[in-house]
Structures are given as structure tokens and as C-alpha cells.
Amino acid sequence: MQKLVTVYLDNSAYAQGKLMVGSFADKHGLVEEHLQQYLADGWSIAQVHGFGGNSESLMVRGWITVVIEKR
């Protein structure tokens, strides 16, 4: 069985009012979606792809799509 999971990434979400990207770089790529729970439940990642997104100077937003499977 397979599922498609989308993960929204936004580097400004963790800025806490800071303007410089480097000031919150430790949070880049932090994923707060249900993907971690699926992996804990025995699902495995079959494919990862980028999908859409944009950049506004220092702020970058976009998605990754993840195909997970469970056998």
C-alpha cells in the first residue's frame, strides 16, 4: 500500500521576528507534519520530490511530496 504525503516548508515560520535567515538557520528543514508518525508506524519512504514553491528575498516557501509505503 502507498500514500502520498505533502510537507510544507517555510523558513520564515521559525523566524520569531528576526529578519536574517542565518539567525534562525538551526530550524531550516524542520518538518512538523505527520510524516514522522507514519515512519514510526512502520511506513518507509519510497520517493521524495520537490513541488512548487517561491522565494521572496530571504523567505523561501515550498513543498516536498513523499511517497510512503507499507508492505
Count of structural domains, the chain? 1
Q: Which structural domain range is residue 35 located in?
A: 2-69
Mean pLDDT of 4-8: 83
pLDDT at position 49, please?
93
Buried b (16+ CB within 10 A) or exposed e, 5-38: bebebebeeebeeeeeeeebeeeeeeeeeebeeb
29/58: higher pLDDT: 58
Q: Which residue type is seen at 61?
A: R
Q: What is the pLDDT of residues 9-51, one digit of tens each?
A: 776 666 666 666 555 555 555 555 678 888 999 999 999 998 8
Which one-letter amino acid corresponds to residue 57? S
